[in-house]
Amino acid sequence: MGGISKFTRWRTATAERVGRADRDLLVLTIGMTAIVMFVNTGGNIMPQVVRSLAGIGLPPDRLLSTAFLLNIALVIFGWRRYRDLAEEVAERSRAEERARELAETDPLTGCLNRRSIAPATEALIAASSERGELVAFIMIDIDNFKRINDANGHGVGDLVLQECARRIEELLPERGLLARLGGDEFACVVPFHAGMAERIDEFAERITGAVARPVPHGEQTIEVTVSVGVARSDGACDPERPVDAAELLHMADVAMYQAKKAGKNRFFWFERPMESELRFRSELETAMRAGIRKGEFVPYYEQQIDLESGTISGFEMLARWQSPRFGLVGPEAFIPIAEDIGVIGELSERLIAEALRDAQGWDPRLTLAVNISPVQLRDPWFAQKLLKLLIEARFPPSRLEIEVTESCLQENIGLVRSLITSLKNQGVRISLDDFGSGYSSLAQLRTLPFDRIKIDRSFVTAIPGNRDSATIVEAINSLGEGLGLPITAEGVKNKAVVEALKQIGSFTAQGYLYGRPEPAAMMRKRLSALDLLCDEPAAAAQEATVPLSGAA
């Protein structure tokens, strides 16, 4: 139907243009005829009119007079049609020019767009080659732009894009090109002499410095940084392999990804090995998506030990990927990727659901702790999703402990407070993970309803030989006692650390001293040997008979 209507519109427009051209030709013919007749008739009638006005001779011939007046009307009509036609042509030319501008430029920033940058780059490459120059294609991506949009609204996001474009354009050399490729991506194309690549280094540094200045908005300022990737038209220093605009864009994009990976707010030149790494990353992403569907991601469990009694108090669930291709993969490798590609929520929910089923068979005194990604805490429906999993598993909320990293508190404290309060109202316990490594303030500890503090392992492992670390742990212990919060020490790897912790205070500990994380089957054997399994798994769910209401 779309093809038929498009053809119909084209046929109608064509018919209108043909009809308009026929009418214009007819009017032009009539006008020219009228002018010829006006000249001939006027030559005959005008002398008669003059003599008649002078009182000499007979009045002018009525037929010739009527024809003469008709000729005047036709000439006026032809002139008006000519003027209208000229205005129509001018208007059509302006519309075509406007359409061309819309097709080639970005309406928000006035830069070139993705469609027009390729031919413009090809033309610049050709012109620069004649001058003995190369071309650098510079990809620029605004860091964390989605967060800027989410926190401040799309109007502020547009303001940031316009200001970034203006700042980059101010630095652009005379023959340089600037385009907005879409979203938060820009591209510069700059000619340079082959032996002076350092000029491009300086240009890229000026871009990162100029864009990194705060963008004012009312009474607040928006902090902005960019990651930059640079590629050159001789094919990454390979004179035998010149590249076109499309490949230049691809190479600059690969280099920009490396800048992102290295910490953002910096620039990288493209190098061939980067392509292999990016290809591996793409394969890893594909394998992860398939692995989630196939159930290759499984929960492992790390013991938590009460140092006073020496007994198991619970387990922390840690994710592992049992990949047929890559082997057993730890969370430090796949969690950042899962967050980047937007599957962390699905992955986490699957693992939590499985862990809740495993924990149903434990002794009711044992707790289950799970880590939550900062990405999940930006989901306003996260509390409802978690409560739904608890209801489906008939697992007591009081035995579940959600671990929130300290860095999460800086992203959206209002939403985090709402989610924490919602979960607390349902009986779920909340712990502040990796305490001491982030920037949480005492005010946040006081106002947010945490149930536990977990000391970052970097302080715990260094206690025996590092007085500074021991002092920090002592201070955190005093803080916990003052706030009435129990403390867990992560990273306990030897008995010296245990003795040091016992001298400081009362702790729950976890670490390799008590064994490495284990899959569910091995962990059940350990609990069975300690008589810490329920005879009837359903008995563990009796505490969950109280109905759970919706999140507040």
Per-residue model confidence (pLDDT) at position 99: 61
Under a CB-based contact definition with an 8 Å cutoff, are residues 423 and 383 in contact?
yes
Catalytic residue among 184, 358, 433, 456: 184
Residues with Cβ within 8 Å of residue 138, at least 6 apart in sequence: 187, 188, 189, 190, 200, 203, 204, 207, 228, 229, 230, 252
Nearest to 449 by CA among 469, 423, 477, 472: 423
Token readout for 490 is 């992560």
- Phi and psi torsions of 300, nearest 5°: -110, 160
The one-character DSSP state at 362 is B
Per-residue model confidence (pLDDT) at position 26: 61
Strand 112-113's sheet: what is its strand order? 112-113, 177-182, 185-193, 133-142, 226-232, 267-269
Task: Mention the CATH class of domain 282-529.
Answer: alpha beta
Per-residue model confidence (pLDDT) at position 207: 93
Establish whether 535 is a catalytic residue.
no
Residue owning tokens 């008709």? 70
- Compute the distance between CA of residue 429 and CA of residue 144 in angstroms, rounded to an integer: 31
Per-residue model confidence (pLDDT) at position 1: 42
Pairing state between β 487-490 and 518-519: unpaired
Per-residue model confidence (pLDDT) at position 406: 72
Question: What sign results for the dihedral spanned by CA atoms 11, 12, 15, 17?
Answer: negative
- Compute the distance between CA of residue 458 and CA of residue 472 in angstroms, rounded to an integer: 11
Token readout for 324 is 């047929």
- Compute the distance between CA of residue 313 and CA of residue 368 in angstroms, rounded to an integer: 9
- Compute the distance between CA of residue 38 and CA of residue 475 in angstroms, rounded to an integer: 108
- Compute the distance between CA of residue 209 and CA of residue 206 in angstroms, rounded to an integer: 5
Segments in the chain below pLDDT 50: 1-16, 18, 237, 537-552
Residues with Cβ within 8 Å of residue 247, at least 6 apart in sequence: none
| Inter-helix orientation angle 272-294/245-261, to 10° | 70
Residue owning tokens 């009711």? 364
pTM above 0.75, yes or no: no
CATH, domain 112-270, list 2.40.10.410, 3.90.1150.10, 3.40.50.2000, 3.30.70.270: 3.30.70.270
Per-residue model confidence (pLDDT) at position 168: 93
E strands, 259-311, are 267-269, 297-306
- Phi and psi torsions of 404, nearest 5°: -110, 125
Per-residue model confidence (pLDDT) at position 280: 87
Q: In terms of C-beta density within 10 A (0-12 exposed, 13-18 middle, 19 or more buried), how is residue 322 classed?
A: middle
Under a CB-based contact definition with an 8 Å cutoff, are residues 401 and 433 in contact?
no
Per-residue model confidence (pLDDT) at position 171: 93
Token readout for 447 is 């106002």
Q: In terms of C-beta density within 10 A (0-12 exposed, 13-18 middle, 19 or more buried), how is residue 178 classed?
A: buried
Per-residue model confidence (pLDDT) at position 537: 47
Across 308-317, b (16+ Cβ under 10 Å) vs e yields eeeebbbbbb
| Inter-helix orientation angle 272-294/331-340, to 10° | 90
Per-residue model confidence (pLDDT) at position 89: 73
Please write the tens of the pLDDT for every residue from 277-321.
888 888 999 999 999 999 999 999 999 999 999 999 999 999 999
3-state SS record for 389-431: HHHHHCCCHHHEEEEEEHHHHHCCHHHHHHHHHHHHHCCCEEE
Under a CB-based contact definition with an 8 Å cutoff, are residues 440 and 432 in contact?
yes
The SS3 assignment for 183 reads: coil
